[in-house]
Homo-oligomer: A and B are copies of this chain.
Amino acid sequence: MLVIITYDVNVTSQGGARRLRKVSKACQNYGQRVQNSVFECVLDSTQLKQLKIQLTEIIDQDKDSLRFYNLGKNYKTKVDHIGVNNSYDIDEPLIF
């Protein structure tokens, strides 16, 4: 299933910049960044649980915000993009 993860980390608070880096790094292990604080991750339910636990441990719940949007398995028709595209099609093989 495709899960969209969006986050707001309060970088003006103490340790905020470090939390932001760690949130982004954790998400990169599971999917692709499509905008500054938006990741698209194809996950099974176990992976989603793991990632939620990891991210919950990283953020300061009084200052930062995480949102998860589950688009399910048939997501191709549910995603639309307009403008500059800094990402790649998640199902296309990466060419190294």
| Interface contact A70-B78, CB-CB below 8 Å | yes
| Interface contact B78-A65, CB-CB below 8 Å | no
Q: Which residues of B contact A8 (CB under 8 A)?
A: 35-36, 38
Does A7 sit within 8 A of B, measured CB to CB? yes
Q: Which residues of B contact A61 (CB under 8 A)?
A: 82-84
| Interface contact A65-B85, CB-CB below 8 Å | yes
A6-B6, A35-B6 are known contacts. Are A83 and B68 too (CB-CB below 8 A)?
no
Q: Which residues of B contact A62 (CB under 8 A)?
A: 83-84
Mask, A1-20, CB within 8 Å of B = 1, is 00010111010000000000
| Interface contact B65-A71, CB-CB below 8 Å | no
Does A56 sit within 8 A of B, measured CB to CB? yes
| Interface contact B67-A84, CB-CB below 8 Å | no
